[in-house]
Amino acid sequence: MESFSDRLAKAIQLRKNPVVVGLDPRFRQLPEAIQPAEETPESVASAYRKFCCEIIDVVAELVPAVKPQMAFFEALGPAGMAALFDVVAYAREKQLLVVLDGKRNDIGSTATAYADAYLGVGSAWQADALTVSPYLGDDSLTPFVDAACEQAAGIFVLVKTSNPGGKTFQDRESDGQSIYRHVGTLVESLAAETQADCGYGAVGAVVGATYPEQLVELREMMPHTWFLVPGFGAQGGTAESVRSAFDDRGLGAIINSSRAIIFAHARPEYESLAEKSWLAAVEQATRDMVEQLAV
């Protein structure tokens, strides 16, 4: 099977944009048309399934990938996990790449179990990629890298996250440089080792749009690493702040937006569209992001 890295590059080139739509369903923010009659785990899970699948229908022809945030589904227990499974399967059916955002990791056989559970068509969850924490060290990443290579999948390792508190550990210095640079160096070495035809490897990095100076710094030191860039839109990231994430082919990064797209019906600028259909607001917000990144 073709590598995740090459499939991602081709999907970006096909859609002519690097947008990833984050699927972060939140009960209180669901459009009125999706609100369940009762607030039970089963009813909310059914609403989340419908909400995400209808978004997928809208964005499948517009963007290369979606990123379900697992926590919102996990909060509902078994019903939520069944809904998540259906959402992943539906996105794949619609030819979208799926990045599961679970920030998993552990040591030894447990890390192997996580990798086997989520990565590739041979896994239970069949995700194309998974977000992974590096905090347990290089040996904890090895099972994920091995599984990604075996299953033609990918991982995105947390390097410089978009939240303000990320600096608590990530910006601390050790041996004369920041922790995020130490992590970035390791990730780049793994990306270079797994480099595909497109020039990027199976191991990517999560680098927030809210830290544009660090984005420039990390792009320079990580030439073989795909960046998954959160923080666009609702968290303050802009097209200008993510410009440095890309190479001269428009590759090298995928830019995630969640709330600004999936809850566009609640944004004042889409109010007139939302009166007709909340999905019309989703579509226009997606198209607007695509246009912003193309400038």
Is-catalytic flag, 10? no
Residue type, 100: L
Q: What is the DSSP letter of 268?
A: G
Residue 205: beta bridge partners? Answer: 157, 227
Q: What is the DSSP letter of 27?
A: G
Angle of helix 41-59 relative to helix 78-93, nearest 10 degrees, comes to: 10
Q: What is the DSSP letter of 69?
A: B
Asked if residue 224 lies in contact with residue 191, where contact means CB atoms within 8 angstroms, the answer is yes
103, 160, 167, 276: which is the annotated catalytic residue? 103
Q: Could you tell me the two tokens for 288?
A: 């607007």
d(CA 239, CA 294): 9
The residues carrying an active-site annotation are: 103
